[in-house]
A and B are shown apart, each in its own frame.
Chain A
Amino acid sequence: MFTSGTVTINDAHLPPARSAGCLPPVGEAGRAVETSEHPAHDSQLAVYEDTIAAIATPPGEGGIGIVRLSGADARAIVIRIFRPLRPGPLRPFRLRYGHVVDPATGAVIDEVLVAFMRAPHSFTREDVVEISCHGGPQPLQTTLGLALAAGARLARPGEFTLRAFLNGRIDLSQAEATLDVIRARTAAGLALAQAQLGGWLAREVRSVRAALLECLAYVTVVVDFPEDEVEPQDLGPSLRAGLATVERLLAGADQGIIYRQGARVAIVGRPNVGKSSLLNALLRADRAIVTPIPGTTRDTLEETASLEGIPVTLVDTAGIHESADPVEQLGIERARAALESADLALLVLDAAQPLTPGDEQIARLTLEKPTILVWNKSDARSEEAGAPEAPLPHPRLLGSVATSARTGAGIEALARAVAAALLGGVPPAAAEARLVSNPRHRDALRRADEHLRAALAGWEAAHPTDLIGGDLTAALNALGEITGETVGDDLLDVIFSRFCIGK
């Protein structure tokens, strides 16, 4: 550090890299803040050297979606969230098969293929890792979220292209051609942002910002006008209130993203357990909209229903072409295909019949998916048969529901169970509740949350005032990414309107 800031003529005029001799940080304080590092100038054109991530495939429900990471830490970040089937390093230009796993919970998110392209032999000439997920917005969003949590930054529109250009990978005409796209997306994003500016989220975020700006104004006045008489203030309550709001917004964010993007639910089970009638019963339970979508494969039928407000694509593996082949008749392959892209499995069993080896075979396919057991035809089950038993122990079983597609009994309970499972066990939000539904907003809220926690901890531990100001500024800037505001002259406005200072 003692040399890193040194200025020379060349440096001052046209500064090259000069960081040699920078000593590594030491000390308790040093380690404590290492983990909460985030860009402060996120709103600017990103020509930074951090690692960016984004979903690289167009939105929709194609067979495969790709999460792409680019930057020096791309590989390290993916290693944190990827569990390959066979252990071993990620080698350049080799596809690896395995699972994306939430490092915090160990939960398997999706079955994926991972490709690592080492710099400079990649689109951006940086280290690039592509994670091919099994399509559907849910696993893609979750995988992207994990990559962001593991240290990547959400890429701006066109940023991969920009890096490719800056690193000499594509030429000027190619870059300029993409610029139109960048601009179009920026304009669209801006329009969207402006539409939201008048909305509830902007109001919530603005009120938090206003309160935090007052805190920052106080901290700044104390530092910049040490000789003025300023009433001591306790920032604790304001910081805690701001933090509470941010955390409330964050708590709703995962839900909000599901509400916006929806989820895929596979209905699996051996033939004749009533899968199709269950699908129809669920569709009837949706009194909102029913949009029939032609099956994306010829062997499955997909319908979209709104279950407790969540747009759910129900995939019925009963298929439309029954086969003569006895193995095909069981529908193993169809079930496997449907489960691959699903966020949740409904394992349908016949409550009126004893379990069969076919039930067990199908059940085995669901072991890696969150699953709900559906005991259909429960109206036909005799009283003395007692409670049914699951075909095999299931590690990701989220519950079981008894239904009768014929009478409609238990269908609403099933719809609630599906919604609850998709919302991660959190009770569904009230109908009037508003949720953050944009991953970019969630990303900003997460950073604001971290900096606010640091600021509050610093305040409670009586850290030097100026350092608390640093965290407050970072939190304000993160929140400002949502409303399009940065800390600048508005701070001075608050200072001069609230504090009587100056000689």
Chain B
Amino acid sequence: MQILYDVIVVGAGHAGCEAAHAAARMGQRTLLLTIDLDKLAHMSCNPSIGGPAKGHLVREIDALGGLIARVTDRTAIQLRVLNESKGPAVQSLRAQCDKRLYAQVMKETLERVPKLDIRQAMVERIVPLRDRSGGEGLGLPAEAAFAVVTHTGWIYGAKALVLTTGTFLRGRAITGQAAWGAGRAGEAPAVALGEDLAALGFPLVRLKTGTPPRVHAGSIDFRHTEAQHGSPTPVYFGHYYPELEDPPAPAYSGAPAAVYPQPTLTGWRPQLPCYLVHTTPTFHDLIRANLDRAPLFSGVIEGVGPRYCPSIEDKIVRFADKERHGLFLEPEGWHTYEVYVQGCNTSLPEDVQWAMLRSIPALRQAELMRIGYAIEYDAVATGEVGADLQARRLPGLFLAGQINGTTGYEEAAAQGLMAGINAARYVAGAPAVILRRDQAYIGVLIDDLVTKEIREPYRMFTSRAEHRLLLRGDNADLRLTPLAGELGLVDAARAAAVERRREAAMALRAALEGRKLYPSVTLNAALTEVGVERLSQPMSAADLLARPAVRYAQVREVLELPDAPGHVVELVEVECKYGGYIARQQREVERLRKMESRRIPPDLDYDDLPGLRNEARQVFKRFRPATLGQAARLAGINPADVAIVLFALERREVARSTDARA
């Protein structure tokens, strides 16, 4: 049996699964350790994936050969398109998944990955073997840089380690007056590991998040709900090229739990709706009357919670004028009766949770299956990991997910993927892969993590991506799959399919520009026929398509344009309609490129830079920017500070080239 691994991933949530998969795909012997093999990539909060910005992350992870999109496509019991009319950069997908099935499909997927071992064990300690001979006493080969000790006392050796602790690090769950140590509801926290990290000198911060109660579908009166249905047309998170593979079929089968009204059983895939209800005046009164028992307000909770994911008691206190709040009842699976009450995060005492839910007409008889709770956990303070997600104070250790201060499955998966890639590259002695802000939402996410003070759990928003018109869901593969091909994360056939898509789009675009239209009576009549406003002056077919309402499919026959697959048409339509805006962002990116591409060596001694303001010195030492662009983005840094760093870099380069000549 294997004792020494190239990469060991501790924790198999959304970050850990992607990390382990990527490292193994890149050829490294990888071990994934988890507390519970049946809860791989467990959705411990809502049963949904995607939404604005998060959906973009999912697309990008897929373009880089990751798993989250494909597992979602197989287990989604509902898929919806959001923001359809709000701009090409913010259109996105959201899926409701079968929670249990998701973990199962993830497990089946990982079980089949060569070079990857997945194993159930609770990691108690991680021991850096700074002095390599130290491993020999533990029975480990000299190449081991870390010893990983499990709860049974078993010891593995690793050349690189990826730590994805989620909410387990000294996790503490709270409902009302009750507080208990927990990683997730019902699971033990990782206390020793947290102490280990603290002992290694990592500064830790306390964050908080929460989850709502779950109710039994049989106790819901669905007559008082409003159904919200999935997309009537096929949509997927993953990239499936017609010549390579068909989109996957749903992993669930048979009829859904009969308790859910209005399922869509015909159509492109069987789907279940979600059900909208609203809070009531009694609901609000109950919360107000019990605020003294709310741990959030009584001081029991110390951790900082996310403002965009407030608890229901928080919403009612802060927005006292608002008469009602919408709550979505989301089935947690195709067959299960368990229903997630979205919008109702709470840590109020159990009796209040029962009473307030029962004040809602659809939930008069509601039976709670699980109660809502808040959870506090440790994360590592900003400045501890670099843009490659490697711990500065412990080379070879990579951190991903909530331990870095983020929240969300998608944010975790994105970091896991990059940590896995960079751990594999670290073992191989290759330089790290760092995505820039203009290349991917993943780049924005990680750049924010290393340049901004994280004061609350970090969630991705479209508004955080200043170059978002370039970072669309429809071009994620064009942007990132070539990189995945080079890294070995996708096979050559898929990389080639992406190039074919690109070429087809360029050809179609050229054809549309070359096709000149003249406002003849015949043409205008034909256009009117298909609902397109007449031409008043000559223009190209590309110009016509730039009109907001005109779609390719609408005018293709009339204008005798070539037939093209949907995934090519979608690219060209966006380019035609928003080409000017896109080109503007492209130019901004070009302008910033010099700064972004100028790397700052990690060993630059800021104490050695004459003339640097003391305040700037402190900021640089804390964040250790990887590029001049990052340096300029840090709060409290002005252009002259960056100029000093730049001059120092130049001086090094001059010195180096002089050395080389000598």
Q: Which residue of B lies closest to A21 (CB)?
A: B506
CB proximity of B331 to chain A, nearest CB, Å: 16
Which residues of chain B have C-beta atoms less than 8 A from A176's C-beta? 647
Q: Is the CB of B592 within 8 A of A41?
A: yes
The residue that A37 contacts in the complex, of B587, B638, B651, with Cβ under 8 A, is B587
Q: Is the CB of A2 within 8 A of B309?
A: no
A464 with B87, Cβ < 8 A, contacts A23-B509, A227-B82 known? yes
Q: Is the CB of A466 within 8 A of B643?
A: no
Which residues of chain A have C-beta atoms less than 8 A from B112's C-beta? none
For the complex, is B103 an interface residue (Cβ under 8 Å from A)? no
Q: Is the CB of A220 within 8 A of B461?
A: yes
Most buried by B among A17, A41, A158: A41
Q: Which residue of A lies closest to B278 (CB)?
A: A229
Quick check: which of A45-53, A393-401, A420-428 contacts chain B, the rest being far away? A45-53
CB proximity of A206 to chain B, nearest CB, Å: 19
Q: Is the CB of B647 within 8 A of A175?
A: yes
The residue that B439 contacts in the complex, of A12, A47, A491, with Cβ under 8 A, is A12
Report the bound CA distance from A50 to B46 in whole Å: 47
A502 with B307, Cβ < 8 A, contacts A25-B582, A186-B638, A224-B461 known? yes
The residue that A27 contacts in the complex, of B86, B310, B576, B654, with Cβ under 8 A, is B576
For the complex, is A326 an interface residue (Cβ under 8 Å from B)? no
A503 with B82, Cβ < 8 A, contacts A27-B577, A465-B87 known? no
For the complex, is A382 an interface residue (Cβ under 8 Å from B)? no
Which residues of chain B have C-beta atoms less than 8 A from A2's C-beta? 475, 478, 502, 505-506, 509, 571, 575
CB proximity of B476 to chain A, nearest CB, Å: 10
A222 with B86, Cβ < 8 A, contacts A1-B583, A29-B581, A183-B640 known? yes
For the complex, is B151 an interface residue (Cβ under 8 Å from A)? no
Q: Is the CB of B463 within 8 A of A467?
A: no
Q: Which residue of B lies closest to A45 (CB)?
A: B639
CB proximity of A65 to chain B, nearest CB, Å: 25
Which residues of chain A have C-beta atoms less than 8 A from B575's C-beta? 1-2, 23, 26
Which residues of chain A have C-beta atoms less than 8 A from B462's C-beta? 220, 223-224, 466
A26 with B513, Cβ < 8 A, contacts A9-B483, A182-B640, A223-B86 known? yes
For the complex, is B137 an interface residue (Cβ under 8 Å from A)? no
Q: Is the CB of A179 within 8 A of B593?
A: no
CB proximity of B620 to chain A, nearest CB, Å: 14
For the complex, is A3 an interface residue (Cβ under 8 Å from B)? yes
A226 with B581, Cβ < 8 A, contacts A7-B479, A186-B639, A501-B308 known? no
CB proximity of A24 to chain B, nearest CB, Å: 7
For the complex, is A298 an interface residue (Cβ under 8 Å from B)? no
Q: Is the CB of B309 within 8 A of A503?
A: yes
A13 with B594, Cβ < 8 A, contacts A5-B479, A27-B543, A224-B53 known? no
CB proximity of A10 to chain B, nearest CB, Å: 9
Q: Which residue of B lies closest to A226 (CB)?
A: B82
A183 with B466, Cβ < 8 A, contacts A23-B575, A26-B542 known? no
Report the bound CA distance from A33 to B579 in whole Å: 10
For the complex, is A172 an interface residue (Cβ under 8 Å from B)? yes
Q: Is the CB of B640 within 8 A of A464?
A: no
Residues of chain B from 553 to 586 with CB closer than 8 A to chain A in the complex: 571, 575-584, 586
Quick check: which of B13-21, B240-248, B319-327, B527-535 contacts chain A, the rest being far away? B319-327
Beyond A13-B433, A22-B586, 10 additional pairs, beta carbon < 8 A: A2-B475, A2-B506, A19-B590, A26-B575, A33-B584, A44-B632, A49-B591, A467-B581, A470-B581, A500-B318
CB proximity of B346 to chain A, nearest CB, Å: 12
The residue that B482 contacts in the complex, of A4, A8, A37, A473, with Cβ under 8 A, is A8
CB proximity of B140 to chain A, nearest CB, Å: 31
Residues of chain A from 259 to 293 with CB closer than 8 A to chain B in the complex: none
Number of residues of chain A lying within 8 A (CB) of chain B: 81
CB proximity of A380 to chain B, nearest CB, Å: 63
For the complex, is A89 an interface residue (Cβ under 8 Å from B)? no
For the complex, is A162 an interface residue (Cβ under 8 Å from B)? yes
For the complex, is B480 an interface residue (Cβ under 8 Å from A)? yes
Q: Is the CB of A30 within 8 A of B546?
A: yes
Q: Which residue of B lies closest to A16 (CB)?
A: B597
Which residues of chain B have C-beta atoms less than 8 A from A32's C-beta? 580
Which residues of chain B have C-beta atoms less than 8 A from A355's C-beta? none
Q: Is the CB of B595 within 8 A of A45?
A: yes
Interface string of B17-56 (1 = CB under 8 A from A): 0000000000000000000000000000010000111000
For the complex, is A40 an interface residue (Cβ under 8 Å from B)? yes
For the complex, is A39 an interface residue (Cβ under 8 Å from B)? yes
Residues of chain A from 176 to 196 with CB closer than 8 A to chain B in the complex: 176, 179-180, 182-183, 186, 190
Report the bound CA distance from A205 to B586 in whole Å: 29
For the complex, is A28 an interface residue (Cβ under 8 Å from B)? yes
Which residues of chain B have C-beta atoms less than 8 A from A39's C-beta? 588, 591
The residue that B486 contacts in the complex, of A9, A46, A467, with Cβ under 8 A, is A9
Interface string of B344-374 (1 = CB under 8 A from A): 0100000000000000000000000000000
Which residues of chain B have C-beta atoms less than 8 A from A223's C-beta? 52, 83, 86-87, 90, 462-463
Which residues of chain B have C-beta atoms less than 8 A from A4's C-beta? 586
Q: Is the CB of B580 within 8 A of A30?
A: yes
For the complex, is B111 an interface residue (Cβ under 8 Å from A)? no
A229 with B639, Cβ < 8 A, contacts A28-B546, A224-B461, A503-B46 known? no
For the complex, is B611 an interface residue (Cβ under 8 Å from A)? yes
Which residues of chain A have C-beta atoms less than 8 A from B293's C-beta? none
For the complex, is B285 an interface residue (Cβ under 8 Å from A)? no
Report the bound CA distance from A502 to B318 in whole Å: 13
Can you identify 12 A-B contacts, CB atoms within 8 angstroms? A14-B599, A15-B597, A32-B580, A34-B580, A172-B650, A179-B644, A183-B611, A226-B86, A464-B87, A464-B88, A466-B462, A466-B468
Which residues of chain A have C-beta atoms less than 8 A from B586's C-beta? 1, 4, 19, 22
Which residues of chain A have C-beta atoms less than 8 A from B540's C-beta? 26
Which residues of chain B have C-beta atoms less than 8 A from A190's C-beta? 638
Report the bound CA distance from A30 to B574 in whole Å: 11
Which residues of chain B have C-beta atoms less than 8 A from A183's C-beta? 611, 640
Which residues of chain A have C-beta atoms less than 8 A from B310's C-beta? 500, 502
Q: Is the CB of A466 within 8 A of B588?
A: no
The residue that B315 contacts in the complex, of A24, A182, A465, A500, with Cβ under 8 A, is A500
Interface string of B91-114 (1 = CB under 8 A from A): 000100000000000000000000
Q: Is the CB of A33 within 8 A of B581?
A: yes
Q: Is the CB of A162 within 8 A of B643?
A: yes
Report the bound CA distance from A44 to B596 in whole Å: 12
Which residues of chain A have C-beta atoms less than 8 A from B438's C-beta? 5
Interface string of A452-493 (1 = CB under 8 A from B): 000000000001111101100100000000000000000110
A30 with B326, Cβ < 8 A, contacts A1-B586, A9-B433 known? no
Q: Which residue of B lies closest to A44 (CB)?
A: B632
Report the bound CA distance from A496 to B94 in whole Å: 22
Which residues of chain A have C-beta atoms less than 8 A from B577's C-beta? 27, 29
Report the bound CA distance from A413 to B78 in whole Å: 79
Report the bound CA distance from A156 to B640 in whole Å: 11
For the complex, is B431 an interface residue (Cβ under 8 Å from A)? yes
CB proximity of A383 to chain B, nearest CB, Å: 66
Q: Is the CB of B639 within 8 A of A27?
A: no
Which residues of chain A have C-beta atoms less than 8 A from B579's C-beta? 1, 23, 25-27, 29-30
For the complex, is B266 an interface residue (Cβ under 8 Å from A)? no
Q: List the 3 shortest-distance A-B pairs measured between CB atoms, nearest first.
A: A27-B546, A466-B87, A30-B580
Q: Is the CB of B654 within 8 A of A172?
A: yes
For the complex, is A228 an interface residue (Cβ under 8 Å from B)? yes
Report the bound CA distance from A127 to B387 in whole Å: 36
Which residues of chain B have C-beta atoms less than 8 A from A26's C-beta? 509, 513, 540, 542-543, 546, 575-576, 579
CB proximity of A475 to chain B, nearest CB, Å: 14
Residues of chain B from 506 to 558 with CB closer than 8 A to chain A in the complex: 506, 509, 513, 540, 542-543, 545-548
For the complex, is A31 an interface residue (Cβ under 8 Å from B)? yes
Report the bound CA distance from A489 to B438 in whole Å: 20
For the complex, is A6 an interface residue (Cβ under 8 Å from B)? yes
For the complex, is B412 an interface residue (Cβ under 8 Å from A)? no
For the complex, is B382 an interface residue (Cβ under 8 Å from A)? no
Q: Is the CB of A40 within 8 A of B640?
A: no
